[in-house]
């Protein structure tokens, strides 16, 4: 996957792999096709609108950014831009565009497309609050000619280069004439980008097929076709992998430990393990009872036996996390110890919040039983295995939990409308992560601050950190942000897991980087 910019605060070292041609199954239908899975269909193939990981995965092959991260150094390097300059006061960013690049329909890529993409991103009519937050400090943008773009900032923002360079560029000649930018076929069935792959076909709830762009301006990847099968259930996906109907699959911990260690499996697949730049959590709607009370949220965390879950359900293939930053980053506050499983502390907190035990053994307050609905995405093995344990543990202490499995896209719709009491999801993030998108008060109504939690200090620190270019000082602000979230528990932060990847052995030149695997480097054994 292209090392672009993630807008989901969507969901290491280098290990070289030598692969033997003798391990490849002779009957593979098309050895130059990479077959993978998605849990659900993309919601859109317009990068300006996309907010879910599944859309982002497909989009990353079709559209390109001005800059991307170097796999090894993690520094920014040129892609659609060959080079760039930043003024000494960090207020003017100038990008020099690559010449000779064409969109999939043969039309040339120019500065007009960059300006158009930016304007559509910040347009108040465009429903993408999760992206707007990264461009709100831009005063204006202009193009002196077809191959230079200049952005002028209202104020400095330490991630401006990353996000200005990280816009996935859409063609002005396609989207400009359209009356409705949000509802049109180019968002779904006919996306036009500059990337190494085009959309070949898309059959809803079945598969998305990408074909190599043979007129691509850069080095053509060896993989000629990428096929994503839509498989919601983990168990079904594993069976497809074993039948070699998938080439690559992210295993869950049980599959890694118990179901993929046979001699037959190891002859066909290699396995890779690296710490993911993501975490999962239980999120609480702090706008209404019972989770408008900090003591209740803190009690919930004391009632989650994370160490037991990590050992039993996750087979020790995860790390307990306490906050919103990547656990291996300097932003992460290591002074904060994970709350232990402690029912006594939890009950004491709930009693201080006014809960008492009724005749039936349930906790209640003002005559209302402590009962809530926990929504989880259907098909996800961890959530499905974790929630019965969570429900049983809370029931033991007088709290009723009603588990509701819901299809991922429907769950996101509910969460975006703030129609939930509690839910389980995960966030993918950058190694250097800005918490504005998730925790600033401006994101409470329409952005990704789903829980509605905010404080004046939190806002102040988030805004201050965005203007701070000294890493050590900025990390001190982030440590305090981490501490505020730790104290108030709008999430019960759960785990940062390991990416556990199985990959067919016909793919060679595979490296594991801090940001994962990069298919563009892979070679394919065809005989």
**Ranges of each domain in the chain:** 63-175
**Tens of pLDDT, residue by residue, the chain (527 residues):** 444 444 444 432 323 333 333 333 444 568 899 999 999 999 999 999 998 889 999 999 999 999 999 999 999 999 999 999 999 999 999 999 999 999 999 999 999 999 999 999 999 999 998 899 999 999 999 999 999 999 999 999 999 999 999 999 999 999 998 878 887 777 778 899 999 999 999 999 999 999 999 999 999 999 999 999 999 999 999 999 999 999 999 999 999 999 999 999 999 999 999 999 999 999 999 999 999 999 999 999 999 999 999 999 999 999 999 999 999 999 999 999 999 999 999 999 999 999 999 999 999 999 999 999 999 998 888 999 999 999 999 999 999 999 999 998 899 999 999 999 999 999 988 888 999 999 999 999 988 999 999 999 999 999 999 999 999 999 999 999 999 999 999 999 999 999 999 999 999 999 999 888 999 999 998 86
**Phi-psi label, residue 425: left if phi above 0, alpha if psi -120 to 50, beta otherwise:** beta
Contact by Cβ (8 Å): 92, 155: no
Q: Strand ranges (DSSP E) for 445-494?
A: 491-493
- The contacts of residue 159 (CB under 8 Å, 6+ apart) are 134, 432, 434, 466
**SS3 of residue 61 by DSSP:** helix
Q: Which residue has the tokens 């009962």?
A: 371
Angle at 516 between CA 511 and CA 519, to 5 degrees: 60
Superfamily of domain 63-175: Dipeptide-binding Protein; Domain 1 (3.90.76.10)
Written as six digits, the tokens of 427 are 């966030």
User: Could you give the CA distance from residue 481 to residue 487 in angstroms, rounded to a whole number?
Assistant: 10
Written as six digits, the tokens of 51 are 């907010």
How many other CB atoms are there within 10 angstroms of residue 112's CB atom?
Answer: 16
How many other CB atoms are there within 10 angstroms of residue 487's CB atom?
Answer: 11
Nearest to 101 by CA among 171, 185, 2: 171
User: Could you give the CA distance from residue 495 to residue 19 in angstroms, rounded to a whole number?
Assistant: 33
Written as six digits, the tokens of 236 are 């079904």
The single-letter DSSP state of residue 422 is E
User: Could you give the CA distance from residue 260 to residue 254 in angstroms, rounded to a whole number?
Assistant: 9
Nearest to 350 by CA among 338, 342, 360: 342
* Buried/exposed 321-348: b ≥16 CB within 10 Å, e otherwise: bbbbbbbeebbbbeeeeebebeeebbbe
Contact by Cβ (8 Å): 267, 23: yes
Nearest to 349 by CA among 410, 407, 290: 290
**SS3 of residue 201 by DSSP:** strand
């Amino acid at each position: 996957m292209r090392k672009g910019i993630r807008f989901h605060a969507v969901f290491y070292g280098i290990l070289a792999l030598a692969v033997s041609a003798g391990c490849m199954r002779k009957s593979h239908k098309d050895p130059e096709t990479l077959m993978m899975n998605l849990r659900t269909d993309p919601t859109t193939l317009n990068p300006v609108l996309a907010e879910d990981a599944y859309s982002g995965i497909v989009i990353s092959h079709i559209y390109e950014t001005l800059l991307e991260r170097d796999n090894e150094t993690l520094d920014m390097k040129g892609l659609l831009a060959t080079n760039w300059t930043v003024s000494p006061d960090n207020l003017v960013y100038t990008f020099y565009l690559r010449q000779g690049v064409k969109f999939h329909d043969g039309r040339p890529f120019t500065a007009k497309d960059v300006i158009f993409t930016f304007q559509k991103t910040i347009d108040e009519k465009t429903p993408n609050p999760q992206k707007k937050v990264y461009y709100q400090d831009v005063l204006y943008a202009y193009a002196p000619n077809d191959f230079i773009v200049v952005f002028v900032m209202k104020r400095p923002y330490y991630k401006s280069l990353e996000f200005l360079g990280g816009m996935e560029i859409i063609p002005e000649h396609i989207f400009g004439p359209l009356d409705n930018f949000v509802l049109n076929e180019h968002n779904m069935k006919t996306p036009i980008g500059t990337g190494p792959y085009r959309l070949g076909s898309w059959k809803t709830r079945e598969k998305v097929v990408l074909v190599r762009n043979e007129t691509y301006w850069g080095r053509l990847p060896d993989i000629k076709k990428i096929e994503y099968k839509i498989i919601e259930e983990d168990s079904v996906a594993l069976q497809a992998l074993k039948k070699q109907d998938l080439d690559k699959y992210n295993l869950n911990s049980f599959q890694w430990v118990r179901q993929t260690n046979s001699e037959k499996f190891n002859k066909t697949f290699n396995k890779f393990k690296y710490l993911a730049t993501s975490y999962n959590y239980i999120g609480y709607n702090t706008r209404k009872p019972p989770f408008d009370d900090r003591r209740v949220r803190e009690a919930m965390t004391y009632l989650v036996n994370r160490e037991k879950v990590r050992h039993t359900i996750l087979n020790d293939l995860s790390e307990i996390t306490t906050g919103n930053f990547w656990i291996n980053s300097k932003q992460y506050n290591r002074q904060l110890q994970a709350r232990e499983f402690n029912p006594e502390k939890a009950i004491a907190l709930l009693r201080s919040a006014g809960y008492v035990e009724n005749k039936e053994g349930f906790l209640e307050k003002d005559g209302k039983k402590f009962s809530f609905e926990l929504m989880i995405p259907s098909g996800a093995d961890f959530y499905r295995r974790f929630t019965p344990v969570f429900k049983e543990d809370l029931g033991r202490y007088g709290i009723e939990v009603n588990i509701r499995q819901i299809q991922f896209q429907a769950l996101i719709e509910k969460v975006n409308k703030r129609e939930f009491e509690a839910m389980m999801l995960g966030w993918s993030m950058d190694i250097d992560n800005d918490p504005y998108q998730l925790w600033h008060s401006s994101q409470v109504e329409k952005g990704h601050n789903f829980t509605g939690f905010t404080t004046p200090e939190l806002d102040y620190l988030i805004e201050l950190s965005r203007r701070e270019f000294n890493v050590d000082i900025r990390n001190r602000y982030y440590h305090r942000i981490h501490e505020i979230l730790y104290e108030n528990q709008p999430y019960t932060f759960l785990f940062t897991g390991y990416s556990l990847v199985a990959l067919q052995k016909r793919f060679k030149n595979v490296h594991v980087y801090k940001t994962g695997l990069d298919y563009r480097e892979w070679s394919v054994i065809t005989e």
